[in-house]
Structure 1
Amino acid sequence: MKHNERMSMFAAVEAPISIAGRTRLSGDLHTAAARLATRLGGARAVAVHATPSLETVVGVLAGLHAGVPVVPVPPDSGPLEREHILRDSGAEIVLSEETVDLDATGPEAPAVQRDPALILYTSGTTGPPKGVALSRAAIAAGLDGLAEAWQWNADDTLVHGLPLYHVHGLGLGVLGALRTGCRLVHTGRPVPAAYAAAGGSLYFGVPTIWSRIAADPGVSRALRPARLLVSGSAALPTPVFAALRARSGHAPVERYGMTETMITVSARADGPRRPGHVGTPIRGVETRRSPEGELEIRGATLFSGYVGRPEETANAHTPDGWFRTGDAAEIDADGWHRILGRIRTDLIKSGGFRIGAGEVEDALLTHPAVREAAVVGAPHADLGEQVVAYVVADGVAERALIEHVATSLSVHKRPRRVVFVESLPRNGMGKLQKHLLQK
């Protein structure tokens, strides 16, 4: 394949791409994609069964090469979810490991620049998953802004084990590697030992992964030669931040984004890192807070709209064109952002006070007996809402945890109830599914 056919979106650099122990050069994957693209031309959309495999990468690249919107499908999706995604997106072709041949021969389709590039489906916590249409320009703007913020370039080796159907694992973790021209090592699964053995300079992970790595001194020490550890997709608990810094020598970079916005706010590679904060806007992005404390965003990285849902697209924006994130946030005088959580589930209004669930969770996690914590607001006849904590812990009583929080936070922020559970519900990216707790 001629390199100039993919220059507009990806680097003309030959770099090894390794997934689950199998390796090909990026140029070979582009060639395989150009050949596969001959089967896709004219399709309304193409779905890709997004397993952690080289075949998934080629399937995604083939759709981009053919100018056909790519719809990554979670490999563990149930039949109803899968049917909804295929029907809602209009996908007419489904690619999988069995239908993608990395060594196919034959003609190559010409590259076609057409939008949307990707249709990614939200988690569906407030109804059926919605298709988020991302343009090539939005993806490029997001990746270039991060390359600048993280000093990410072709000399890096990126390591991660994140799912390839999400903006984090696919958008950043695969397309970002191809755009910067760096080497990629995808570990197949996000196993701490695999991260330790990969020898990377740049690591992506979610808080669950970093918590497990921080708990293993040997793995943490193995990451000391790295250049940058990046955490995202959910808030990184302050105790995990501290443990990583102590054991690996790295204060992790935290960043903030959504499927609809790509990554918009981040700490910098050459700047300070503040526990509980996600940094400042990347190049091309502006942020502001609404009078209610909601973070609003505009800029080059934003999505084009929800597929087939013009009213929901309009409602997600303010009259003057800012995207409503649904997240409560604080913005310091120096522009640093602190995400308090989802307005509906993480901003608790109790007795006239506004309480951020994340602050209470961090306080609970400082107790040595607590392994995980999730805090929600529950209806209360007098207070409006009361603070309720769901906790995974050993050998500690409810009263002890309530008093522990009250010693570090204002008394009104202490949990009124503590519910002990064996595990907390999470999705494939490690995000807490608090709506399941509230049910």
Structure 2
Amino acid sequence: MALLTALSHAPDERPDAIRVAGRAIAGTHLLESASAVADRIRGLDRVAVEATATLETVVGIVGALLADVTVVPVPPDAGPMERAHILRDSAVAAVLDPAGVEADAGGLPVVPVSLRDRSATRHREPADDRPALILYTSGTTGLPKGVLLSRRAIAACLDGLADAWSWTPDDLLVHGLPLFHVHGLVLGVLGPLRLGSRLDHVGRPRPERYAAAGGSLLFGVPTVWSRVCADPAAARALRRARLLVSGSAPLSATVFDGLHALTGHRVVERYGMTETLITVSARADRSRLAGTVGWPLPGVQTRLVDDRLQPVPSDGVAMGELLVRGPTLCDGYLGRPDADAAVRLAGGWFRTGDVATIDPDGRHRIVGRAATDLIKSGGFRIGAGEVEEALLAHPAVREAAVVGVPDDELGQRVTAYVVADGAAEPELIDFVARQLAVHKRPRRIHFLDALPRNALGKVQKSRLG
């Protein structure tokens, strides 16, 4: 079966089948323009794409998938260090340029993407074990790692969500999420193209845009829903929707309850990682409780273990590290067998690094991160080590430690503690924002005479803040 089943077999003829930032396109036009991209890049192994929120980005990604070329999305706000790492580490052969501005391609060939180009070529459907995407994700140390996601895994995830959310071609999906991670790209773009629903990507996810779109299925990260909750008129306009879905970070009970009061909806929360895609979700046909992420998707299994990897009971009270296995798991980290081995266990189990409880009825609650160095801020996963490396690149900084501080709107606020000579807070914040994606910059920087360390020299982050 084709990955993009609906687009490949019965493209939507309606002129607004896919809308991005106010511009719309019919499914037939999308398929023809994507086929033109596929004609040009057929035979390449991997291409990067400037993942701007545009119709051209959608066309470029679909074109690569049609041509059996693995897609490596590049955040459009990536700083030079992050961009260079992604292009070098992924070993892409070319860069698709949806914006037509010839962004820095590191000396690689640039392939422009235009809606004016069309082709009637029908490319053969690749094998389902072929890699579709390499998504870069921040870990607890060092630069981001490339996660290999197969066509089979993506299809299993989307079909599982169709089951959990009763997602059908009758839905209009509305969101304003970035197109370089699972939430915005896999769920938010490939989902409609596989399942046949229409899509309205509103650009920046402002409450008034969500309200005006008239969607039946709406995606947002907690930051988005917090802002919707603070705009009662926009929130009340969402009463006509079918489901509100939140992910990428925990949604506070305050926002959950506030949205229920204003919209009549209890938000669907779900859980996943770049490495596993979505594995657990609340369902459209079952009750939804604040702070819970529901049940495993079809074909997915979960279990809890303690620090010695021994079983923890599913009694709703005992906490353990969440392990998952099933058809949505990635095929590993690109060029990092060491990193892959660290999270793989016998029997196909994957270590998520998240602490959870599971009720006797199978309902899951995510308690927190087993480690302290993965920060979830505004729906983004930010590796503390990556921000620390950027800070240490500044000539005035001698030591740096980065942590996530609880924040009502962002979930966690990136906060840095540094030992530096003669540098001011705004200067260092701007320096990081120029080196990495802007959302990874510290929101606050505290200056210390020395970082707290243990006898082995390891920074004791628990003593910061």
- What TM-score, normalized to structure 2? 0.74
One-letter amino acid of the counterpart of residue 53, structure 2: P
Rate the CA distance shift 1:175–1:432 in 2: closer, same or farther, 3 A.
farther
Unpaired segments ≥5 residues, structure 1: 348-356, 359-375, 377-386, 394-420
Q: How has the CA–CA distance of structure 1 residues 8 and 308 changed in structure 2, closer, same or farther, with 3 Å as cutoff?
A: farther
CA–CA distance in structure 2, aligned partners of residues 130 and 262 of structure 1: 15
User: Does 2:343 align with 1:316?
Assistant: yes
Trace 1:24-423 onto structure 2 (pairs within 5 A). 24-97=25-98, 98=100, 99-106=112-119, 108=121, 110-114=123-127, 115-292=130-307, 293-345=320-372
**Secondary structure, counterpart of 1:224 in structure 2:** helix
Decide whether the 8 Å contact of 2:6 with 2:196 is kept in 1: no
For residues 216-274 of structure 1, the C-alpha deviation after alignment (integer angstroms, 9 at most, x for no partner) is 11011000000000000000001000000001111100000010111110111011001
Counterpart CA distance in 1 for 2:405 and 2:137 is: 26
CA distance in 2, matches of 1:8, 1:185: 17
Residue 90 of structure 1 aligns with an amino acid whose one-letter code is A
- Partner SS, residue 223 of structure 1: helix
Q: Residues 375-414 of structure 1: CA distance to partner in whole angstroms, max 9, x if unpaired?
A: x9xxxxxxxxxx9965679xxxxxxxxxxxxxxxxxxxxx
Partners of 2:7 and 2:27 within 8 A in 1:
no
CA distance in 2, matches of 1:434, 1:314: 34
Check 1:218–1:429 CA distance in 2 against 1; reply closer, same or farther (3 A cut).
Answer: farther
Distance in 2 (CA, whole Å) between partners of 1:271 and 1:431 is 36
**Stretch moving more, 217-226 or 106-115:** 106-115
SS state of the match for residue 271, structure 1? coil
Distance change (3 Å), C-alpha of 1:58 and 1:391? closer
Q: How far is the alpha carbon of 1:27 from its aligned partner?
A: 2.2
- May I ask how many residue pairs the two structures share in their alignment? 373
Maintained 8 Å contact 1:5/1:111:
no
Amino acid in the other structure paired with 2:117: A
- Percent identity over the alignment is 55
What is the CA–CA distance in structure 2 between the aligned matches of 1:281 and 1:100, rounded to whole Å? 38
The structure whose RCO (Cα within 8 Å, separation 6+) is larger is: 2
Q: Distance in 1 between matches of 2:266 and 2:251?
A: 12
User: 2:103: which partner in 1?
Assistant: none
Q: Tell me by how many angstroms 1:320 deviates.
A: 2.8
Measured in 2, the distance between the counterparts of 1:435 and 1:124 equals 21
The verdict on how the C-alpha distance between 1:336 and 1:152 changes in structure 2, with shifts beyond 3 A counting, is same
Following the alignment from structure 1 to structure 2, what is the Cα–Cα distance between the partners of residues 243 and 430? 26
Write the letter of the residue equivalent to 1:47. A
Q: Does the residue aligned with 1:71 lie in a helix, a strand or coil?
A: strand
Please state whether the residue corresponding to 2:266 is helix, strand or coil: coil
RMSD: 3.2
TM-score (norm 1): 0.78
> Does the residue aligned with 1:117 lie in a helix, a strand or coil?
strand
